[in-house]
Structures are given as C-alpha cells and as structure tokens.
C-alpha cells in the first residue's frame, strides 16, 4: 500500500512539474512575442511569471547566504570588527528597499545601458537587500551564543582555521540559518512587488514576474486576477515548504546543543515520504546528498591543505597575507570613493532650495514610529505565547509552521483590497490600515526567531526541569523565557528593521486607480520616489530614518542584546 501511495505521489509531482514546464515555455513565447518586458496580465502566463520570479529569488538567496556566512563570521569572531560591522548591519537592514532604488538604477541599469540583463541584476540586488540582513544577524547570534566550554574544547584540540569554521561555527549556525532562510525567502516574496517594478520619478523598469503581475492587477482593480496570481504564489510557497524547508528544518534539529547524545530526526508525513522514501526521488536525494558531502569534504580538505602549506611555507604565507592586504585596501578605497561621491552629491542637494516636504520629516518620523510601536506590541502579544506553544508541541509545530510560512510570504499588496474596502471605507482614514500593514512586515520576524529559540532548548534541560517538578509558570519563567531572550532581542531588531521597510507599502496604497496615504516617512519616500523623483526629499528622508534607527539600535537593542548574551547564554 505504501509503495502504491509513493508511486502515485511521484506520478502526481511529475505531472505537475511537466505541466509547469509546458506553461512556462508557452509564457516565454508569449512574452518574447509581445516585446520583452511588456507585462501580459492574462492568467495563462502565471506559470512563466512564477518561474522568472523564482529564479530571481534563488539568485538573491545564494548571494544572501554567501554574504551572511562571511559577514556573520567576521562580526561573530572578531570583537574589533564587530564594533563597526554590527552598526552597519543595523543601518542596512532598516533602509527601505526604495532607498536602494537609486543604486540599482544608476549602477546596474546604467552599467548595462538599460538592457534586460541590467534590469534583472538590479532586481536581484533589490531582493538581496530584503533577504541578507536577517540571515546575517541570525548567523552572528549563533556564533556569539556558542557555549564557552565547546569553544575551549576546540581550542584545546587545536581546531583552527578552516577546520574550526567547518566543525564549530557552521554547524552551530545551521539551525538559525535554516529558520532565517525561511524568513528571508518570505521577506523576498513580500517585497517582490517593489523589486520587479523599479521606478524613479518618470523612469520605470518592469520585469515579468508574480510581483509585477500582482501590483498591476491591483492598481487596475482586477480583483479576480489578483487572487489567481496570489494563489499561484501560495502554491509555489507551499511546494517549497513541503519539499525544501520542512525537511531542512527537521535536519537542522540535529545541530542544536544537547548535553547527551541524540538520534537523527527523520521527517514524517506524506510530503516528507515523497522526498525521503518515494521511488525515484529517493535515488535523486541520495545522489544530491552524496554530491553535497563530496563537495563539502573536498572544499574542507583543500582548505586544510592550503592552510597547512601556508603555515609551513613562509613565502606562500607572506603572499597570502599580501593578497589579503591588497583586497582590504581595494575594498577600503571603493568604500572611500563611494563615500566621497555620496558626500559630494549630498552637499549639492544641500545647496539647492529646500523643498517644503523636508521640514515635515521629523513629524513624519514621529507618526511612523508610533505606528511601528503599536504594531510591535500587537506582534509580541500573540507571537510569544504561540511560539512557546508550537515550540513544545510537535503536532502543532508540523501543522502551524507551514501555515505561518505561507502567510509570512504573502505580499502586503495582496491585502490591499480587503484592508482598503473594510478599514478605509468604514473608518474614513488610513491610520488603522497602516498599522495592520506594518504588522504584516514585523510579526513574522518575531515569530520565527522565537520559535527557533524554543526549539533550540536542549532536550536534557527540559528533562532536568521535569525531574525537579518545574511546571507551568515556574517552568516558563525559569527555563523557557530566559533561554528565549537572545532570540527575542534578535527577532525584535529584525522585526523593527522589517517594520521600517514595510512603511513604504503601509503608508502609500494604490488601488483601482486611487491613491491612499497615511502621513509618515514611508508615504514621503513613496511620493518622492514614484511621483516627483525628488532626490533631495529621498535622501533627507533616508538620512533621517538611518539616524533614528541607529540611535534606537545602539542605545536600546544592542545594550539589551549584550546583556542577554552575558546572562542567558546556555552553557554545557
């Protein structure tokens, strides 16, 4: 019976993939015949749009993962670098995606002279800015919360260099990388709309994809097509959850710290059986795992050989130090060049007559901050108990996590028709609607980080608590909540960063040809970017946002995080 079920599931997936490939090919033919980037809004084109959007997301994710491993490793292992790398990351993760539009347009689009390749690279770069920071923070947190005894043991056994990275740092970061990868993909889907339609004043570049399809049909008030596009996106997200994220989440459980031994976790359920046991898929999975293991061993082996040779051969060691120094100087010069050009441009903007909107920026920041504060407390109010519940209940975790992953990936634009109709029409204003839209950009960062914090509790610690009779409130206050504090603060930092980003879709809504706004820094940025193209307002708004965010992070969140790492890190 099980063999028949697995065979049926295999045939079903093969049929779905074949159908998807056929419609994607037909969509490619249609888009090519209609003029490259011209947007076709017919429902039959959606599989092709889904394929194009997925490729952009995948390219951005590969860049984000590479960036997170390098950046998080440097910040988590070098205290001197940490002092300036983390503040830079605080700024970058809080800059709205619109803030990167000028860089995307003038660097990628101008470099390739407006060709489709330049626009595609610009789109991938913009998606990268919505994925990378959360993963980098998660990997950094994993490295800073490694138990001291484990670090001392690796040092005592002479585990250094690349071997230390592969045997200590990377395994320690796998759980957070997996959970934050889910969140980063959700963030990429969330801002896909802004990444596939790049506008700067009257200049606009559109790419075929689900994001551009959703925004165009929403602007025209074509509710049915919007819902079909949203259903296509949800289907793609669901398939990724079943065949990628759930098996990876279960596999990541093997890398959390335990005081004793623990067996490997094997996924359950029909979706997992298809991936782990079904005929054909099982062989593919084994081949993928063998190739991955071979490549991992090869890379680690070559890295260790290079390290040994450079350690023994003075000449090559000096050469590598010289190359590293040269790369550092090149990077420093590039940063200095970009900074000088930016300061010259900023000075030029200061000399121009100041626009009236600039004087309203402090008031706009204040109103936006109040919306973020309200959305944060609402998020915390429901995510904390839900994370504790599903983190301790395997059945609830298996059922609820996929639902939350899908909801986290739904672009806020898809909610515009409902929110505009029910809230704006009934209340006569956008304030409540803006808070709810900001909520969609904050709550999931908190939830997934809190769930990761609960799931990282060692099994032995739970057993000890049960042996001492800790239950209910005492168990929560003495075991669960203290262990969750680092994840809570990391989630809060990324949630506020996501909230500042979400302002651009929360305070400026276009539906059925009509624009709805709520006064705030997000609406100022949207109006300046999509409407007037006024660089003075754009840059002043971004600078005001960055100053506010750095002040909050450095004098509040970072101090809380340092205290949490010192007091609540689990030691073995």
Please determine, for residue 278, whether its predicted confidence score (pLDDT) is greater than 60.
Answer: no
pTM of the model: 0.70
CB-based contacts of 206, cutoff 8 Å, min separation 6: 37, 39, 196, 197, 198, 212
Q: Quick one: CA dihedral 76, 384, 386, 229, positive or negative?
A: negative
CB-based contacts of 19, cutoff 8 Å, min separation 6: 47
- Please state the φ and ψ torsions of residue 200, each to the nearest 5 degrees: -145, 95
DSSP 357: G
Looking at residue 30, what is its pLDDT?
42
- Residue range 87-133, pLDDT digits in tens: 788 777 767 776 777 777 777 877 777 678 888 888 899 899 888 88
* Residue (of 60, 22, 51) closest to 239 by Cα position: 51
Residue 117: Cβ within 10 Å count: 13
d(CA 235, CA 189): 13
- Mean pLDDT value across the chain: 75
Contact 200, 529 (CB under 8 A): yes
Contact 558, 86 (CB under 8 A): yes
Give the Cα-Cα-Cα angle 513, 515, 518 (nearest 5 degrees): 165
In this prediction, residue 31 has a pLDDT band, given cuts at 50, 70 and 90, of very low
Looking at residue 541, what is its pLDDT?
85
Contact 503, 488 (CB under 8 A): no
In this prediction, residue 375 has a pLDDT band, given cuts at 50, 70 and 90, of very high
Cβ burial 555-566 (10 Å sphere, 16+ → b, else e): eebbeebeebee
- Residue range 408-451, pLDDT digits in tens: 767 665 666 666 666 656 665 678 888 888 888 788 888 888 88
Looking at residue 309, what is its pLDDT?
57
> Any bridge partners for residue 508, and if so which?
517
Please determine, for residue 5, whether its predicted confidence score (pLDDT) is greater than 50.
Answer: no
In this prediction, residue 377 has a pLDDT band, given cuts at 50, 70 and 90, of very high
Please determine, for residue 172, whether its predicted confidence score (pLDDT) is greater than 90.
Answer: no
d(CA 398, CA 321): 49
């Amino acid at each position: 019976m099980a063999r028949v079920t697995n065979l049926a599931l295999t045939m079903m997936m093969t049929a779905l993939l074949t159908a998807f490939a056929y419609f994607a090919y037909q969509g490619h033919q249609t888009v090519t015949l209609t003029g490259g980037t011209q947007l076709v809004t017919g429902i039959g084109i959606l599989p092709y749009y889904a394929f194009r959007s997925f490729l952009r997301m995948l390219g951005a994710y590969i860049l984000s993962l590479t960036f997170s491993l390098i950046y998080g490793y440097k910040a988590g292992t070098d205290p001197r670098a940490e002092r300036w790398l983390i503040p830079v990351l605080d700024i970058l993760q809080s800059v709205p995606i619109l803030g990167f539009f000028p860089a995307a347009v003038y660097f990628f689009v101008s470099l390739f002279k407006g060709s489709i390749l330049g626009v595609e690279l610009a789109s991938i770069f913009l998606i990268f800015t919505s994925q990378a920071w959360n993963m980098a923070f998660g990997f950094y947190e994993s490295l800073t919360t490694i138990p001291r005894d484990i670090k001392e043991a690796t040092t005592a056994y002479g585990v250094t260099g690349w071997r230390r990275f592969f045997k200590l740092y990377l395994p320690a970061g796998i759980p957070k990388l997996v959970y934050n990868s889910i969140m980063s993909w959700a963030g990429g889907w969330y801002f896909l709309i802004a990444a596939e339609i790049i506008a700067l004043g009257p200049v606009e570049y559109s790419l075929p994809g689900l994001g551009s399809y959703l925004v165009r049909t929403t602007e025209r008030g074509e509710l049915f097509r919007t819902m079909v596009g949203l259903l296509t996106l949800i289907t793609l997200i669901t398939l990724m959850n079943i065949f990628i994220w759930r098996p990876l989440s279960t596999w990541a459980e093997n890398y959390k710290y335990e005081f004793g031994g623990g067996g490997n976790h094997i996924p359950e359920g029909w979706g997992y059986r298809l991936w782990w046991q079904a005929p054909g898929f099982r062989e593919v999975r084994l081949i993928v795992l063998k190739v991955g293991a071979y490549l991992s061993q090869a890379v680690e082996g070559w890295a260790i050989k290079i390290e040994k040779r450079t350690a023994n051969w003075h000449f090559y060691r000096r050469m590598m130090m010289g190359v590293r120094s040269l790369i550092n100087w090149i990077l420093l010069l590039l940063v200095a060049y970009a900074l000088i050009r930016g300061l010259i441009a900023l000075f030029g903007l200061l000399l121009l007559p100041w626009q009236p909107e600039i004087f309203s920026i402090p008031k706009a920041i204040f109103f936006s901050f109040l919306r973020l504060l309200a959305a944060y407390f609402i998020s915390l109010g429901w995510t904390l108990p839900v994370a504790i519940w599903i983190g301790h209940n395997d059945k609830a975790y298996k059922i609820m996590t996929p639902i939350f992953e899908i909801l986290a990936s739904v672009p806020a634009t898809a909610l515009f028709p409902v929110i505009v109709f029910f809230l704006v029409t009934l209340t006569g204003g956008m304030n409540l609607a803006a808070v709810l839209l900001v909520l969609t950009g904050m709550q999931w960062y908190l939830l997934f980080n809190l769930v990761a914090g609960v799931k990282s509790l060692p099994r032995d610690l739970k057993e000890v608590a049960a042996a001492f009779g800790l239950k209910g409130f005492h168990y929560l206050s003495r075991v669960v909540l203290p262990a969750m504090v680092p994840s809570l603060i990391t989630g809060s930092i990324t949630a506020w960063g996501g909230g500042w980003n979400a302002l651009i879709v929360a305070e400026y809504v276009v539906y059925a040809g009509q624009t709805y706004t709520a006064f705030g820094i997000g609406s100022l940025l949207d109006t300046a970017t999509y409407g007037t193209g006024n660089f003075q307002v754009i840059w002043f708004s971004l600078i005001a946002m960055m100053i506010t965010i750095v002040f909050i992070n450095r004098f509040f969140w970072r101090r809380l995080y340092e205290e949490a790492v010192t007091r609540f890190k689990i030691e073995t």
